[in-house]
Structure 1
């Protein structure tokens, strides 16, 4: 029996949980940055002015990192609620980007449900406003401008 056949035989004999542990040790671990392109019934986009971002690029979409075991759609709902107090329904996937050292970026379109008046958290977020897609503010991250274009077209 050649080495490849022996390795394959041993691999098949291992229990599923042991296989997963070996794969986990061998492969890279990533953080998942999750973004929501939140729109209202009029087609306006929710943008936030983030306190911790560079002063010339503080405007952006609701965004955050997925918690361990959290579905990405759940991350959008949680982050929007934490940052603005708004409730959203998550829709289609807008973008999935990799190539960062230890991070993948995922963006979903989401629709606000119920009250559209944001109640910001005051720590991370300085301001929250609805903008028509054709009148986005100066200081908006270019990557977020592209996500908005992808989501509304």
Structure 2
């Protein structure tokens, strides 16, 4: 492609401007769901784990997890999921994990601190919610969640 053709394409791109550029980029680029996980700890360092109804038998224990809604920050997703699934409120801290490379999903996990409330589970999705010491985690815990709790590399 000659220099003049490249310059013409660049000039046209700049003339098109904002919203049309975004639409072209939207159609051209990959779309992902974003799975968001909260590593919720209390003041004693215990971690909040949930036994998920729809997860595979023998691997139902895991951290509060859900998908980000459109226009929702990932931190807001953590707060919403924990509240919906357990009735608890949390303060979201630093990012603990980010991973892409899945076909249609990106995963992100945040540290979070218990802020208040009493456990009242959403019994449609969640069978049980309990606090565990990191050195005494339950059988049937997702291995990737065990690694997140101990901040080991996935």
TM normalised by structure 1 equals: 0.95
For residues 10-47 of structure 1, give each alpha carbon's deviation from its aligned partner in whole angstroms, at most 9, with x where no partner exists. Answer: 11111211110000000011000000000000000000
Structure 2 equivalent of residue 105 of structure 1? 107
Distance apart, 1:83 and its partner CA: 0.2
Distance apart, 1:5 and its partner CA: 1.3
* Matched residue count: 150
Query: How large is the RMSD of aligned CA atoms in angstroms?
Result: 1.0
Q: What residue ranges of structure 1 are gaps of 5+ in the alignment?
A: none
Structure 1 equivalent of residue 41 of structure 2? 39
TM normalised by structure 2 equals: 0.95
Q: What residue ranges of structure 2 are gaps of 5+ in the alignment?
A: none
**Structure 1 CA distance for aligned equivalents of residues 139 and 54 of structure 2:** 17
SS of the residue 1:55 aligns to: coil
SS of the residue 1:101 aligns to: coil
Show structure 1 runs of 4+ deviating over 4 A: none
Q: For 1:1-153, what aligned pairs fall within 5 Å after superposition?
A: 2-115=4-117, 117-150=118-151
